[in-house]
Structure 1
Amino acid sequence: MIDKLELYFKAAQSAKIGIWKMNLQTEDVFWDAVTKHILEVPEDFNPVNGSGIKFYTEGENRDKMMTLINRAITDGISFEDKFQITTGKNNIKYIECICQVEIVDGIATQLLGTFQDITKEQNLINELQLSVEKFSSVFSSANDAIFIIDASNGIITDYNPRAAELTEYNSDELIGLHNSTLFPIEYQKQVRYFLTQNRTNDEFTVNEACIKTKSGESIPVEIASGKRFIVNHITYLVCYFRDISERKNVEEKLNLLSLAASETTDTIVIANPQGEAIWANNAYLELTGLSIEEVIGQKPGYLSRGPETDLQSTLLMKKAIQDKKSIKITILNYNKQKEKYWFELNITTVFDSDNNLINFIGVGRDVTSRIEKEIELKQLLEVTSQQNDKLYNFTHIVSHNIRSHTSNLAMIVDVIENTEDIAEKLSYYDLFKEGTEKLSETIEYLNEIITIQKKTNIAKKKINLKDEIEKTKSALSLVIKESQITISHTIPEDLFVYVIPAYLDSILLNLFTNAIKYKSRKRKAFLEIGYEINETYTVLNFKDNGLGLNLVKNGHKIFGMYKTFHGNEDAKGIGLYMTKNQLEAMDGKIEVESEVDHGSTFKIYLNEK
């Protein structure tokens, strides 16, 4: 008996089957080496009653094992079952456990059993079950009708719900039906040959035919047959039927459209939902210089972009296509010979009854002649507008600058006429002379502008900024003296700027006279002139402590024409307007910071380029 047990143990170990036993009277427990190996515990692990249950995965597996063990002990019922366990190394395994109950005098005295690792087999079963579930899901929910046909006799042995929906047959009618019944007589020979070829060659092929529904309706379909498979020595074919009615209708419509559109002078391109061309008329080929082979399968316009093509327009068309929206646009394109042409294009989207996009249709025409005339007219209007602006600006320069000088000369003459002191009269002679020289210089600048205005661009000249400020200060010396304003600056002697001299003269006169005209009577007036230089501009700062401005209320109109803010009788609202326009003409700009009753700071940006 002992020899037989040893032989059994050796055979079990060779088959990697573990052996275990439990004496129910002494509660001694034995696990052999294979059992311990499966449970991934040390060889010297000493099991005790109840220590094995913790290896069964908590939940359903552990509960089931406890129930079976209790039944074996109390009722003497043996069992055989499969369980999931968590080993001593925390690995998940699947095992098959067999338990035999030894009974003496009607009482269970000992449990004997085997313990076998079936993880690989169970994982394979799980994978197969998952594959079956996936196949069943695909088979049941597929949009195509699927038939499984016995290759030996052509009988339908299985089908999916879509097949019944397409053919209008129910389960009792389809199972056992010969496949030829589904086809009109004129297609039966073609389909029979098709299926025979698939059964012989074992290849995936596609063909077109028509099926006849139970009600007699003929529906165009695409038939696809995959490789055959064999079950119980029977060869089966899996056939897929796809309803292509909509596609056929579209093709018929496209054929009609092709006939109607092939000779029109407008260009026409039809693209699929992915934006790839499927048809183009002769007018499009002639305009682009492309062949039909270069168009079909490509996105229209893929060779039409060039150096002057507007990227924004291209992006708008691309976005419209992505969003499946219609768009009308005019864009500069290039033909195959790299010649430019202006193209007016209407892209229209076409949807089916279920709101699925079918096609894009692009209708366009060459509008080069019209656009070129529009561009020419626009350029002419721009030139005319610029000339009018220059003339308008020039008129105000003449009025404002000469008036400033003549006012200063009139004041000097008035002083001379009203004094009897010969020495005092002579003292104003130099001021009078300087004022007339400044007037003469201004007139020369204005004459120069008249000459330059005839050209497209006004040339800048290199001017010493400190000299110009001193000249302006000297020309207005009497006004400065009478207004008791202090004018100072920090302009270095070697600072040169590139400006239009007449414009700079006018700008300085405006800013000086504004500081004088709008000084506050509450305090001693000053005008401080500073500068800074950055990468683009030389910036002049004219800071005064005059009346100031409410920028919240008037900031948007401070540089407007005829805009005045303090009610002065001599205010014309021209100075700052001219200054802004003159600076912009020199690619510069003007900014202002101001606070009521605290003064203003005007920042003059002179562009040195």
Structure 2
Amino acid sequence: MKTLEKYIKRRYALFIFTFIVIILAAILIIKNSIDAQHSDAYLINTCGKQRTISQRVAKLAYKIGSAEQTEQRDIAHNELGDLISEWVHIHQYLDSVNNGKHDVIDSLLHVNKEYQHVMIIASQDLMQAETKEAIDKNIAIISRAEGPYLSNTELLVQEYQKLAESNLVNLKNITYILAIIALLILLGEYLFILVPALHQLLQRGNALVASNKKLAISEQKLKTNMAELQKLKVDLETRETFNKAFIEQIPAAIAMLDNDLRYIAVSKTWIKDYKLEGREVIGRTHYEVFPEIGEDWREKNRQCLKGAIDICDEAPFIRKDGTTQWISWDTRPWYKADGSIGGLVMHTSDISEFKFNESQRKQVERILHETNEVARIGTWEVDLVSSQSYLSEVVREIHGISKDYEISVDNGVLSYKEGESREKIQNAFLEAINYGKPYDLELELINANGNVVWVRSIGQVERVNGKTVKVYGLLQDINNFKLAQLELKKVNTQLKAIFNSKAVAMVTTDLDGVINRFNPGAEILTGYTAEEMVGKERPNLYLLKEECTNFVTDIAKHYNKKEEGFNAQYELAKHNRYDTREWTYKRKDGKLLPVQLTLTSIKDEENTLIGYLGVSTDISEKKAAENKLLHNNQLLNYAEELTAMGNWKWDTVNDQVEWSKNLYNVFKLNPDTKNLSFNTYFNFVHPEDKEKVTVYFRITKEEKHLKSFTHRIIDGEGNLKIIQLLGEVITDASGEVVEMIGTCQDVTDQKLVEIELLRKNYILNFAERITQMGNWQWDVASDTLKWSSNLYRIFEYDENITDLNYDTFFSHVHPEDKDYIADFVEKSFKEKQFSSKFIHRIITSKGNVKTVHFLGEVILNGQGEVVEMMGACQDITEQKMEENKFRGLLESAPDAMVIFNEHGVIQLINKQSEKLFGYAASELVEQPVEILIPYQFNDHNSSYHDGFFVGPSVDTMGVGNAQELFATHKNGNEIPVQISFSPLETEEGVLVSAAIRDITVQKLAQSKIIAAKNDLEDLTERLIVRNNQLADFAQITSHNLRAPVSNLNALLTFYLESNDEDEKRFLFKKFESVINHLTLTLNTLVEAIKIRNSVGKKQENIKFDDVLTKTKEILSAEILETAAQITANFSEIPEIRYYKIYLESIFLNLLDNAIKYRAKDRPPEITVKSMTFKGRTKLVISDNGLGINLERHGEKIFGLNKVFHRHPEAKGLGLYMTKTQVEAMGGEISVTSTVNEGSTFTIIF
């Protein structure tokens, strides 16, 4: 019994120990799996963070590129630097975690590192970049690298997700295996440990009871038991045979092996799967049958013989013949009746065919995915029942959205461009839902980045019971194809418009010379219709025979061919050449017309000759200008002599300089001097200005802009002159300076006048210092304050600080006087005048207290509003100190002191009073104070001292701009005096102390100073007006001569390049129109000089239509070149009384700008209209050009040198001159504009 008890305890202990081991193993495995899942989730989040950082880097780069303030750019720089550091750290972490464990992830990380490196280098260069070009270049690099980086990062996230999913699947499998193992072990221990133990316990108990009760029949029982045991043995042997037969017949690959791994039984499927037909297997060891099994599998089998279970879902089994067989297996031990392991049972499956099919499927999916990537085709699906949608990766890329971004149907529709595209997709989607109608549309889509993309959207419908439950389809990016298609359509339209143009004649022929196309321009030039010519005639019909012969002769001679049988056009086609020359057309009406004809060949895509093309233009007008060129040049030279001006051109590449005739005269250089260079000019430069000139031209080349520049020269006769250079820089296609052109004007006389003005200003400043006075000017509208130099000294303020305003002044006012100042200024605004008694204290910048006296006047605009105040300020601190001393030292005071009561009766005088008035003290005491004041001032004085006692205070009479005060001497003479009143508190009441000073000498000095100041102011105003007139004249001259001079230069270039005398004569005729305009302009400018010397501008009645016609003739070349259409309506106001030069300049500036800043995709359309506006004349000029961004440039649109488009001829003078001229004549000008729609200028005269 004790042995049985030990046996049961031992088996219970084994049961408990096994159960604890299983629990610990499960906890350990699950913990490791959870840790792996947590690690995978962290890696996916970290990878997503990399994607977010790359997008933030790109956004910061764009922010730096668009930042206009340095502070904003610095903040962005700091943030970008921090992001780059964090970005690099994260990538290093991902790289270290992977460390070659996963080949795909390792490859993706390597690709990411390359794109990251490109973006980081570009970002660092961006932070160091100083120029706009460098910034834009680095932003472009970042933009190009961002897309591939985001796509690659998306793939990296997917790989991490696949790895996490794989780990999760492994965790599930391990959990299931552990559960099965635990159940099997528990079941096995229950069956083989607990049940046998209990069974033995019961048997032994029963045996003992039976033994005690039936001892006599024990032997019989034993025999019976022996018989039963024999029967049991037979049953077991029968069952074993049955099991072997069962294994052999089972339809699965199963093998039963003993402890030596010898085959006991195998199924027919096992024989078939491993191709063992005809081979003896039973009795042989597993490794004899499969010698190719490696050591790792053998070790697993040894573990299974110890009780382990080995299960594998898939593994390659490399057979002895070298083939690979994919199998799965379940290997576990089988047990004998006594509970010991009898061997192994192996269950395997051949999954090779499944693996092959899976490989094929993955390859097909990969090919399909790559095809979609190349063709940019993606799939989408909308489940209308669950309101869920699916977008493929390509569709998300087209939309520019991330993988985790959820998009609804409404948002998807709104992503299409508003208008036709959005309406089409909305209607198509509704029809698909309501009627099950599929669609196939080409639409414009705006992605998340704001880019417009052409896409092809195909939709199909899935309906159940007549109701649409799902809409799905394809989305293809066809942007490049669509844009190319639209561009081709545009080019075809342009070509068709060119061919149908009436301005140019175009004729094409076949290889036999028969006309097959004859455009409207050709009909106009020849007088023949297309119906008369196409398919019927050759160009010889309207060509002169001798000219055709000359053409053949020239071409044959050029190619060293014989004329007989020679086809000139075919020869040109062979060499891919064309011929341009002057021909004479014989019109249908018999008239001869000179034209410029270009002959060329027409070839197809395979470079096969299929016909010929002739393009011709009427050049009859061009001939008319040639005879006028010389006369115009003479007028130009006369204008230059009149203005002491000359023009120049410098070829900076070859260092060749050309001067106009008058420029030789300015420099006093022999006109016969040839081969001019930069040194020719530089040798005349004053030695002290040579360095300045060198720096000026170096900066001009760097900035590619020639600014106005003034310096000294010593001319050929040794005279010192001051010249002013104006011009522009011409660059080649690469932006390099190749030429400079401009004017040079002798401004010596103007500079001498400026020097004289500066000298006068110096005298004025000197006078201010003597009188301790300064002048000031306050622009109320802009709150800008200007002080003279001496006023800075009075306030002891830094003269280098020029940004002054009202607060600058008010901050220096003594705290006790601030309320008084505020009330005074407010009163000045209300009464629109400046009181002369503006005396108060200030605290200077150095802390000194001073008393100042301000004088001034108020300037009003046309509406009576205060726009400006100006005047003078005098430091009267010393005067005030003297007055204070006089109050305490009456008798010792140098001035006459008179003290009287409230009734005006004199109470006391000092010795100076006796000297001043000639009276003795006894003669004045108790006398009315009026006897000292002339009768004409008595009324004022009486009212003054009446008011004085109402509010007694210290005051002064007879100073500043107030009414002068005179005292009466005993002998009757009037004495100019300054009287200071102050109250004296006495026991008898309030008395008045009057300090009377004889200011005869002071008045004389003041009169002289004021006279000198007035003279200087008059001279200053005259000089300012004169300078403005000179500058105005110079700018008008430069601006209004530029267009005709440019035309003359162009015609002159044609003339110099021509070798044909007939063509030269023709060119001379073409000069007539331009020269007439130039002559009229110059004569008008000469007359303007005379007008400026008169009081006002000479006005005359001018017809708007005449001015417009003249402007169109000046701009004829630009109008023809751009096909501009100018429409005018002057029916309401046909003429105006105005200054002619200004009106012509206004028209020229505004029309020239309308053509110059035209839109590239349409010809200019300009409308000019006059009308009545509130009794005044209004002129409106509208165009359909580029337009101006008024939100950005509105405040400076009429500013000097302000340009709003990157146009090579933009100077920023035109609108400034126009506004100046309009306002000079009392008018107003305004503008409304919309970008890419056009501008409208409104002038109210």
TM-score class normalised by the smaller sequence: 0.3 to 0.5
Higher helix share: 2
**What's the TM-score once normalised by structure 2's chain length?**
0.23
Larger gyration radius, structure 1 or structure 2: 2
Higher strand share: 1
